[in-house]
Chains A and B, each alone.
Chain A
Amino acid sequence: MKAPAIESVGARSTLAVMKLGTFAVLGGRIVRAAVMRPYRVRRQLDEIFDAGVRSLVIVCLSGATVGASLSLLGYGTLSRFGAEGFLGALVGHALVRELGPVLTGLLVTGRAASAMAAEIASMVQTEQLDGLRMMSIDPIDYVVTPKALAMIFVMPLLYALFVAVALYGAFAVGVDLLGVDGGQFLTSLENALDFGDHVLQGLVKSLVFGVLVGLVAAYRGYTSEPTSVGVSAATTGTVVTASVCILIFNYIITALWGV
């Protein structure tokens, strides 16, 4: 008896569960490599340089323009009601809780995570990881873990820099260009935002996104096919999966945190 439709459903389900299992095992191995000796400090610093410092320019530039355009947008609406004084509160809420973590996550995904997946995938393709194994060096410990940890480490830092620069951009446009009172802008910003409700939420989000992006890129790169198509599939897959995960988890965290 043959039922090809049901068979294919079964095969797909098994494959999905297998992939999820591989993902979890890889995550576990990264955690183990992170806490157990040897600690590869030099590798770690190099990866932080690649993922963090090299993302700095794009993150700051994006932050400044996002803050500036948000200020323009908010001013247009608020000034109709004579409520320009609340511009700081509007910009601060939007940036600290939602736009800051999400845009930083997406930017880092596009700039650093894609490169990370491509690098690991091309090392798979050129059998460099096998070479490491032959020298009895665990490639997870030497190659993958420092990259994933760097992603987790730099994400909150880049988030904070993004928001700080964006607030400065919003201030520059709102106060210097549109003529909102500077003191009013800062007062409404500082009164509207609370550490526990807003800033901490942004920090937690960026940390979660860092874990997500780091693990997805590690998984896609490490499990890629050893072909040139495999390298490009790993890169594309990382950007797509990580971006969608960021947006979904953003909603979940916002909903759980309460409004």
Chain B
Amino acid sequence: MSSSAVRDLVVGLFVVAGLAAIGYLSVQVGGLNYKGEGGLVLVAHFDDIGGLTGRAPVSVAGVTVGQVKAIQLDDLLRAEVTLDLDPGLELPTDTSVAIRTAGILGDQFLALEPGAEEEFLRSGDEIAYTEDALSLERLIGKFVNNAGLE
């Protein structure tokens, strides 16, 4: 091999390694994915979502099956949360969803609890049964007020 061919090879290796590093950062670390629009998209309404944020994980029995795609305010001034779940997931129509916290100081996530109906939720459906975020401040407030009444 001539010296310029060796040099070309080294440049090629460098470029491939650089692109691989970009790919690693984007896909593995950055969580970029090309699932497309094929996922199961569900909507849920809450009175109070607490500190829930976009990209928060959604789990069934503790297993992550998707993430929060969008959070916005609906016409009735409630929080409308859009969930993007794995396409093959079969959730009964009476499934409920609750906002939970991982540990005491951890991030908030959505926990799905499957119901017992025979039919399954399809993309675009709404989860009717929702449970708001547990607000520690509100709980303490209630406790203090009740204690004061007695």
Contact = CB atoms under 8 A, between A and B. Distances in A.
Contacts of A157: 14-15, 17-19, 21-22
Interface stretch (A16-24, A48-56, A176-184, A222-230): A48-56
Interface stretch (A186-194, A208-216, A245-253): A186-194
B7 A96 contact: no
Given A49-B11, A194-B55, A160 B29 contact: no
A190 B18 contact: no
Interface string A35-61: 000000010011011001100100000
Q: Which of B22, B32, B107 has the most CB of A within 10 A?
A: B22
Contacts of B17: 157, 161
A195 B22 contact: no
A205 interface: no
Contacts of A107: none
Interface string B4-39: 100110110011011101101110111110000000
A164 interface: yes
Contacts, number: 75
A200 to B, nearest CB: 8
A53 B22 contact: no
B29 A193 contact: yes
Contact of A53 (B4, B10, B25, B57): B10
B76 to A, nearest CB: 29
Contacts of B55: 194
A115 interface: no
A161 B18 contact: yes
A190 B31 contact: yes
22 contacts: A45-B7, A45-B11, A48-B15, A52-B14, A52-B15, A52-B18, A53-B11, A53-B14, A96-B29, A154-B14, A156-B22, A157-B18, A160-B22, A160-B25, A190-B31, A193-B30, A193-B31, A195-B30, A195-B31, A195-B32, A199-B29, A200-B30
Interface of B: 4, 7-8, 10-11, 14-15, 17-19, 21-22, 24-26, 28-32, 55, 57, 107
Interface of A: 42, 45-46, 48-49, 52-53, 56, 92, 96, 154, 156-158, 160-161, 163-164, 167, 189-191, 193-195, 198-200, 202-203
Given A96-B25, A154-B14, A199-B29, 16 more contacts: A42-B4, A46-B7, A48-B15, A49-B7, A49-B11, A156-B18, A156-B22, A157-B17, A158-B18, A160-B24, A163-B25, A164-B24, A193-B30, A193-B31, A195-B31, A202-B25
